[in-house]
Amino acid sequence: MTPEQVKALVEAGIDGADVAVQGSGNKYGIRVVSEAFAGLMPVKRQQLVYGCLKECLADGSIHAVDPLQTYTPDEWQRANRLGIA
């Protein structure tokens, strides 16, 4: 599994998502920015992303996702402005 493959899976599962993936082997850090997260609690956001990766998590091609960062576009813009993203 490559970062590009992980990115494609998340983008396919979350319409309009801006996805960045770092890592290799079976451990990745993922940042997702999407309007789909608006109004969702952090656990629901994570579940949405993990749902895109469920087959890879089940077969072990992805072992760990850390960190998993989820933002709405407004949250992402605010985080960048504050220098915390």
pLDDT in tens, 9-64: 999 999 999 999 999 989 999 999 999 999 999 999 999 999 999 999 999 999 99
pLDDT at 82 over 90: no
82 domain-assigned: no
Confidence of residue 83 (pLDDT cuts 50, 70, 90): confident
Q: What is the pLDDT of residue 45?
A: 98
* pLDDT of amino acid 85: 73
The range of the structural domain enclosing residue 67 comes to 3-71
| Number of structural domains in the chain | 1
Radius of gyration of the chain (CA): 12
Is 81 inside a domain boundary? Answer: no
- Residue 78 within any structural domain of the chain: no
CATH number of the domain encompassing residue 18: 3.30.300.90
Whole-structure pTM value = 0.94
In a domain, 80, yes or no: no
Per-residue pLDDT at 63: 95
Class of residue 17 by CB neighbours under 10 A (exposed 0-12, middle 13-18, buried 19+): buried
Distances (CA, A) of 58 to 36, 53, 69, 70: 24, 9, 21, 22
Looking at the domain assignment, is residue 77 inside a domain? no
